[in-house]
Structure 1
């Protein structure tokens, strides 16, 4: 029943908001993509209706009607946009000589929309308030799906989605990779919000998301989540709340990780000959991807078409006609070529380095205003988490890393062009920031 009473009114509201206030439509678009209403409420709404397409169209129309306004952008943001656009252009060029035009057409029909909305996000998220709302919407949208995945496990005693896809985002590995940047968003909001109920809610969502990673039994995502936790522990403000919360999170994680999870995760580190077939095959797949990249370095063999050559390059051969490479770098390098791969990873690297640089300028996240601290923490931890997880199973068609990268680029632009004062040694988290999230008045 939520279809008629929740999904459709929300959809219509986002269409109107997209035209009237494009930034609302943009954030609503990402919330919709991450929430996947056509999956969560698939019994009451059509699963094949392209809600996202219409929200994106309304947002783009609204931006055009408001004069295609572009706020002042940091140099790094402009360069990152150019890298992402160049990656897309090389993809279309590569598609013209693809060894499998249908696969490449499918891939590019999704990729150009992802790139368009990511660029639009850098332009439309132009204030601290919008940065905060974007991070929060990403957290809450995925939190509902994490709740449903956990609910199914506790009702049935096993995780159905460890063996079959959740929604339209692919198998357990792909959905886990989509979740990794959003875990960083949840933890960032939890640490930097000043509202207790938001802190409790986002903290609960983070626990559900972490448990979801365990339930879906994606070894690559588990390993990436562990590394992401180390990054968060490194950059987060060190105070009573964060230290206490870290201890609670460690205890909760150990309690939730049952024998099957421990066995699945530890199997990644077994010696050669003792690994299961899935883990062992990864090394042969990556070797095949490396050889295909060497043979087709400039434009690859066509977006998403590298899998067609894997059986031929796989050590010992494969009987299947196609085989996924299960690696983000090789998926792009074999499909788009090495220049495009460089541009793709440069787009993700630039906001990360910008946030690391800002953290150094402030002398730590504890000296930043809440919206900026949340953005820095989410980007610094979330993007490496996505990249690490996707090295075991690609996630290039998942929107979460793109919106997080765009939030980082937007944050860098806001900071660079909004008359910020340099931080001083006497600044602390206890001080009140002005309405734009700038330096406290006492130090201006």
Structure 2
């Protein structure tokens, strides 16, 4: 199909879906575009046609989600009996810290040495934070988290397959020669590496024969990452492998897959790739790594001189040579030190706290759900495994990259935190319910399809007795 026509159909469908069903559909399409980046992936096919007016394709999806949110809340848009209207996820610390981090970036922008340079990075942060906060209010059920999880996974899988197809048919190494979506080969490889844990745990949480269609995504991603010559992305995948065994319910299957993958790896990596990877053992002989050490030292010195608000978003590149790097405009190549230089030690501290509280939110949700065997809980636990392994892949890989506006990482943070937020949701009564009955009726399915317990007396909710609020029962009771 003509890719331009496909983009028109997808964008139109997302916009219409927002006015028919509510803001979740355009929000999901926005995040699909944020990961897939079709304007880069299909660049040569789309460049023959005019660009969409007033902004990119994702602009229309973001606008549709924002425009339809309040009408959906007040019952003007979407089905009036939509059960998600009555669920209000908690505004947890992971959400608060995201808001605090964005606020600090805003203050840093206002105090930037050069606001024109800072604006390019800051406007990306505005978009990321705005859609993140909207998603915390729109995503109110586990099935919605699952939908975004699968969209993320399939988008990365498609990118990997497309890159491999280009290599097989033409011999062109896209990531090495041109990068992807404004990222160099290392950033693009890290983006792809996020799909490995997502694809594995998607296979685990999916039921039916079609789950086996998800496994081929993993070797496609691994081959694309290996052929990118990115050591950081390869290391981030390898280091996080023990977490897979910690969180999976199918350890034997995972062990078999890992053995098969190790057997295939020598055929994927040629001699040049192996030689480049082994230079990690000889850091003093690797000029690239030595240049990164110089950049890290420069970032530390900049952050020391501007400890509170930093020098301004991406303003550190303007002065990096003055602080000891080899050239003008040298990027820091460390996400945490980049944030420290640009937004001060306070900004870096808020970002690290955001990561910590997202991980803590996932741990608490897993602790609550792990012992439950109902399908919703099993699926949520599998998603948590994939999301946490993916987040750790980013945390490790970003030690060698500057990715403070890397939206896929914020999507992973959102989904991981949102599972815990939904677990602590407040549910308002449906028509025909007494308040106590409504609260019990909305806590979700129970093993064996047993009916909810009577509303009085209502016992204290504990980690052992809690069941997730997933599918709401709207049948009125006397």
What TM-score do you get using the length of structure 1 for normalisation?
Answer: 0.87
- In the other structure, the counterpart of 1:118 is 132
- In the other structure, the counterpart of 2:33 is 32
Q: How does 1:87-106 map to 2 (within 5 A)?
A: 87-106=101-120
1:51 aligns with 2:57: yes
- In the other structure, the counterpart of 2:238 is 226
Q: Is the 8 A contact 2:175 2:188 kept in 1?
A: no
Q: Secondary structure of the equivalent of 1:441? A: helix
Cα 1:418–1:373 change in 2 (3 A) is farther
Q: Is the 8 A contact 2:370 2:378 kept in 1?
A: no
- In the other structure, the counterpart of 1:385 is 393
Q: How does 1:265-304 map to 2 (within 5 A)?
A: 265-272=277-284, 274-275=285-286, 277-304=287-314
Cα 1:245–1:287 change in 2 (3 A) is same
Q: Is the 8 A contact 1:186 1:202 kept in 2?
A: yes
Q: Is the 8 A contact 2:205 2:382 kept in 1?
A: yes
Larger Rg: 2
Count of aligned pairs between the two proteins: 421
1:358 aligns with 2:371: no
What TM-score do you get using the length of structure 2 for normalisation?
Answer: 0.81
Q: Secondary structure of the equivalent of 2:221? A: helix
- Deviation (angstroms), 1:239: 4.3
Unaligned runs of 5+ in 1: 420-433
Q: Is the 8 A contact 1:181 1:378 kept in 2?
A: no
Cα 1:110–1:392 change in 2 (3 A) is same
Find 2:416's aligned residue among 384, 408, 414. Answer: 408
Distance 2:215 2:373 in 1: 19
Distance 1:265 1:124 in 2: 43
Cα 1:72–1:262 change in 2 (3 A) is same
Cα 1:132–1:300 change in 2 (3 A) is same
Cα 1:17–1:279 change in 2 (3 A) is same
- In the other structure, the counterpart of 1:183 is 196
Post-superposition CA distance 1:232-275 (Å, at most 9, x none): 12221244433322322332334323222222222122142x22
Cα 1:137–1:177 change in 2 (3 A) is same
Distance 2:382 2:14 in 1: 25
- In the other structure, the counterpart of 1:140 is 154
Distance 2:298 2:51 in 1: 35
- Structure 1 vs Structure 2 CA RMSD: 2.6
Q: Is the 8 A contact 1:237 1:365 kept in 2?
A: no
Distance 1:206 1:353 in 2: 27
- Deviation (angstroms), 1:363: 5.0
- Deviation (angstroms), 1:4: 4.1
- In the other structure, the counterpart of 1:84 is 98
